[in-house]
Amino acid sequence: MASNTQLPKYLSIGQASKYLNIAIPTLRLWERKGIIKPIRTAGNQRRYTPQMLDDALAGKKPAKPVSKDKLIIGYCRVSSAGQKNDLKRQIAVVTNFCEMQGKPFKIISDIGSGLNYHKKGLKELIHLICTQQCSQVVVNYQDRLVRFGFELIEDICQENDVEITVINQTKTESSNEELVDDVLSVITVYSAKLYGKRSHHNEKIIKTNQELFKDR
């Protein structure tokens, strides 16, 4: 076991394993049994303090966190600035739902494609989930959160004991229009990579797909 003065303030699971001279799976087992409770980073990585590891080795139970209300996060999104009225309606619906829960809440909104996973609001939401600052995520429709990969965010929420609530399960006409726009944007990006942005093949593929989706 290394001296605490030679260690960083927070250790990765690999560093913690070496510090205690035990296998990484043993640390994960300890976590499942409640013997140790690591801190989670925004990227959902485990971090340990030397004191935490010493206590676990000595058989001390992890200290219970100070009781406080976690936030309910209402997340609202539209694809473009031209949909600001729709965004206002979403915020009103989600706010009303959150108010009915009778707990502290925060509304986060984004303007951007459901295929863009680098939006400021979405990144803030994931940070709050992974740092266990919220208890529930509320969205008006499932695709307001992300277009694809909803199950992945569900898994992240489950790992951090966060509930996801989708207020409405039915799709709207504007939602279907956004799906078409998102699919076309994917086709455009990959066609440009294959044939070049100014290629005749690229222009033909984009035009054909635009006409195809227009008939739907």
Query: DSSP secondary-structure letter at 48?
Result: B
DSSP class per residue in 106-142: EEEEEES-TT-TT-HHHHHHHHHHHTT-EEEEEESSH
The rounded distance, in Å, linking the Cα atoms of 175 and 144 is 9
**How many residues in the chain?**
216
The residues, any chain, with a CB within 8 Å of residue 151's CB and separated by 6 or more, are: none
| Catalytic residue of the set 3, 12, 67, 79 | 79
Task: Give the N- to C-terminal CA distance of the chain in Å, as an integer.
Answer: 66
The rounded distance, in Å, linking the Cα atoms of 126 and 74 is 12
**CA dihedral for 113, 117, 122, 123, sign (positive or negative):** negative
- Half-sphere exposure of residue 208, counting CA atoms within 13 Å on the CB side? 8
150, 95, 163: which is closest to 122 by C-alpha? Answer: 150
Whether 79 sits among the annotated catalytic residues: the reply is yes
Active site residues: 79
